[in-house]
Structure 1
Amino acid sequence: MTATTIKASPWWTRSVHADRRPFLIGRNAIQAALRGYFASRDFVEVDTATLQVSPGNEAHLHAFATEALTTDGRPAPLYLHTSPEFACKKLLAAGETRIACFAHVYRNRERGPLHHPEFTMLEWYRAGEPYEKLMADCAEILALAAETAGARQLTYRGATTDPLLEPERLSVAAAFDRYAGVDLLSSVAADGTTDRDHLAAELSRVGMRVAEDDGWADLFSRVLVEKIEPHLGFGRPTILDEYPVSEAALARPAAHDRRVAERFELYACGVELANAFGELTNSVEQRRRFEIEMAEKARIYGEIYPLDEDFLAALASMPQASGIALGFDRLVMLATGASRIDQVLWAPVAETDR
């Protein structure tokens, strides 16, 4: 059996902390400014529980599992949430109309310059308002974060974005065509089902790698990561809009084209900052999508997470709404010029070594 050890951390050395401290003070100032931003627009700040019966049901998100004991000592599985999304939507079902939440969230198998096992998600929701309103929010928030940090530009590892410029709005299909020469929607049927072999042929035509066991989602992700994301958010922010419905498990289909969903992601300096939905409120369809996601998770990783039946029941009374999750630490990085996420965390999680 191999022992697990915790590496000595440099963060508590006085000189290292002194180098990090300007980023951390900037973090506090940006958080205070954003709290003021939402309060001035009649948002209620909510505080959701970290422990949940389901951490989320997206195939490629990995949770931390734990266990509660009942009063008579029986174990009951729980998870640290990967997002406060389910809890926030329950509050919309209960009657809240504008809510915002700074939540510590937990994602396993994630560590690097832009990833940390525990980080802060800023989520906000607008009942009865279109998701285009969230795009306007994003533009204002980028400008506010930069102004608060005293920065004229957002920066990350030599890349820059002008936060005062209107974001470019680019559909996923247009991005596939522009940056990869791939006709994405020709592989998506009118009902949203996908044709793996058709997309594989498109990738082969433009000289991209295709493995025999690649599914449609694998091929989609390869093009997105290798050909598209390296071009997003440079000079000005990018809003990558209208994801195929199969890649938007919690978003409603777009009214003008049922092949795509009301989902966008926000990029600046090549960094993904936020993920937004026109929220799906059909509980039957949501259950079907979750089951598809968990089947994919079982195929790839050999595990699944339970469904949150409380959340699915709440969808029956949830109003039409739009919601967004923004990586707050990443926003702070770009506004303060930090190069690693652990520079903007007051107390980073120690690394382990085996």
Structure 2
Amino acid sequence: MIHWQPTATIDTLQQRAAALKDIRLFFSERGVLEVDVPVLGQAAVTDLHIDCIMAEVSGQRRYLQSSPEFFMKRLLAAGSGPIYYLGKAFRNDESGRRHNPEFTMLEWYRQGWNEQQLMAELALLVETVAGQPLTVAMRTYREVFVEQTTLDPHRTQTSELQRLAAEVSGRDFSDSSRSECLDLVFSLVVEPSLPSGLVCIEGYPACQSALARLAKDAAGELVARRFEVFLNGVELANGYCELTDPLEQQSRFQADVALRRAAGKARIEPDKKLLAALQSGLPDCVGVALGVDRLLMQLLGQNDIGKVMAFID
């Protein structure tokens, strides 16, 4: 029997439409421009942990975009001012109760702001969509990691992190990187301990900087100016104080390419147009990407992403 009906109820789809309307109104009232960028592009992210979906168009390789980030940064460099994107993004090999290869992403950028200002705006946005105030906690990565493991994520030896990762997972981590061990322990030990409501965590380890700038924290430790936001223990958003140095960006791209080669993954060439935009001058800015489907799951009390999407084909 062919199952043709929607995976979400019509009532849920009406609530989803209302939430998208609320998001657009939120940014319109604050003078943030909505931008419509391509979902099919010549370049893709080089991140080891993200696999993009390839397509062939007129004999040329293209990629369904895993994020509108690179296009949005080109707009920022061209003088767009504050912007947001609300639309589809795609990632390969991501399926499950909280994942779907095609999903809805909200991403926005603010010039001249810091991470704390952006986290505050994100919290206000979520409260606006929820229609009620929420408990909001601001924490550092070090604080939550030490509370659950007693280990300092910035100073503990990699061998000790490998031991802990093996202990909590039952797998061998002796050849794993520091970043991989931290990721594993954070997801299995720290995330389940997070309280209900919104929890904003900043000051990630330098080895997990991705596209974020590095800076020293209050303790003099070099950390990534990166944050993640969780709602009721579920990862909701990921934000950065954006990297603007084209040489540093090129270096990180090349490091990613080497990691992908070592892991036997498809080679992804760095986005030359993004690098050219950075060379032209990307203004100081912060940006954040939020999973809209996950937000709706939490606000509507659903435990499966399909329950807040019209179809999962």
Could you state the TM-score of these two structures normalised by the residue count of structure 2? Answer: 0.92
Residue 304 of structure 1, CA deviation: 2.3
Instruction: Tell me, yes or no, if structure 1 residue 137 matches structure 2 residue 139.
Output: no
Could you tell me which of 76, 81, 85 is aligned with 1:101? Answer: 85
Is residue 280–residue 286 contact of structure 1 (8 Å, CA) maintained in 2? yes
Find the counterpart in structure 2 of residue 220 from structure 1. 182
The 1:132/1:9 distance shift into structure 2, 3 A limit, reads: farther
Q: Distance in 1 between matches of 2:174 and 2:2?
A: 43
> Greater CA deviation, 329-338 or 313-322?
329-338
Q: Give CA-to-partner distance per residue, 1:76-120, whole Å, 9 cap, x none.
A: 211111000000111000001110111201100010111001001
Q: Distance in 2 between matches of 1:258 and 1:93?
A: 31
Which residue type is aligned with residue 89 of structure 1?
K
The 1:206/1:76 distance shift into structure 2, 3 A limit, reads: closer
Which residue type is aligned with residue 67 of structure 2?
S
Residue 240 of structure 1, CA deviation: 1.4
Q: Distance in 1 between matches of 2:261 and 2:296?
A: 35
The 1:54/1:207 distance shift into structure 2, 3 A limit, reads: closer
Q: Distance in 2 between matches of 1:207 and 1:332?
A: 30
Is residue 145–residue 332 contact of structure 1 (8 Å, CA) maintained in 2? no
> Greater CA deviation, 124-133 or 297-306?
297-306
Find the counterpart in structure 1 of residue 233 from structure 2. 270
Residue 53 of structure 1, CA deviation: 1.8
Does the residue aligned with 1:61 lie in a helix, a strand or coil?
A: coil
Which residue type is aligned with residue 329 of structure 1?
D
Residue 288 of structure 1, CA deviation: 1.0
Is residue 181–residue 206 contact of structure 1 (8 Å, CA) maintained in 2? no
Does the residue aligned with 1:197 lie in a helix, a strand or coil?
A: helix
Structure 1 residues 220-299: aligned runs within 5 Å: 220-232=182-194, 234-256=195-217, 257=220, 259-299=222-262
Q: Give CA-to-partner distance per residue, 1:271-298, whole Å, 9 cap, x none.
A: 1000000001011111111221222222
> Greater CA deviation, 300-309 or 218-227?
300-309
Which residue type is aligned with residue 332 of structure 1?
L
Residue 210 of structure 1, CA deviation: 4.8
Instruction: Tell me, yes or no, if structure 1 residue 79 matches structure 2 residue 63.
Output: yes
Task: Report how many residues are paired.
Answer: 310
Find the counterpart in structure 2 of residue 190 from structure 1. none
Q: Distance in 2 between matches of 1:206 and 1:276?
A: 27
> Unpaired segments of 5 or more residues in structure 2?
none
Is residue 263–residue 275 contact of structure 1 (8 Å, CA) maintained in 2? yes
> Unpaired segments of 5 or more residues in structure 1?
1-7, 70-74, 153-162, 188-194
Find the counterpart in structure 1 of residue 293 from structure 2. 329
Q: Distance in 1 between matches of 2:165 and 2:175?
A: 14
Could you tell me which of 92, 97, 100 is aligned with 1:116? Answer: 100
Instruction: Tell me, yes or no, if structure 1 residue 177 matches structure 2 residue 139.
Output: no
Find the counterpart in structure 2 of residue 191 from structure 1. none
Q: Give CA-to-partner distance per residue, 1:126-159, whole Å, 9 cap, x none.
A: 0121121111111111211111xxxx6xxxxxxx
Which residue type is aligned with residue 184 of structure 2?
R
Alignment RMSD: 2.1
Could you tell me which of 290, 297, 306 is aligned with 2:269? Answer: 306
The 1:287/1:177 distance shift into structure 2, 3 A limit, reads: same
> Greater CA deviation, 178-187 or 93-102?
178-187
Residue 227 of structure 1, CA deviation: 0.8
Is residue 159–residue 174 contact of structure 2 (8 Å, CA) maintained in 1? no
Find the counterpart in structure 2 of residue 5 from structure 1. none
Q: Distance in 1 between matches of 2:129 and 2:12?
A: 13
Residue 258 of structure 1, CA deviation: 5.9
Is residue 168–residue 185 contact of structure 2 (8 Å, CA) maintained in 1? no
Which residue type is aligned with residue 134 of structure 2?
L
Q: Distance in 1 between matches of 2:42 and 2:256?
A: 17
Identity of aligned residues (%): 33
Kindly report structure 1 stretches of 4+ aligned residues shifted beyond 4 Å. Answer: 201-210
The 1:278/1:182 distance shift into structure 2, 3 A limit, reads: same
Is residue 196–residue 233 contact of structure 2 (8 Å, CA) maintained in 1? no
Instruction: Tell me, yes or no, if structure 1 residue 27 matches structure 2 residue 16.
Output: yes
Find the counterpart in structure 2 of residue 62 from structure 1. 51
Does the residue aligned with 2:227 lie in a helix, a strand or coil?
A: strand
Does the residue aligned with 2:190 lie in a helix, a strand or coil?
A: helix
Q: Distance in 2 between matches of 1:9 and 1:309?
A: 45
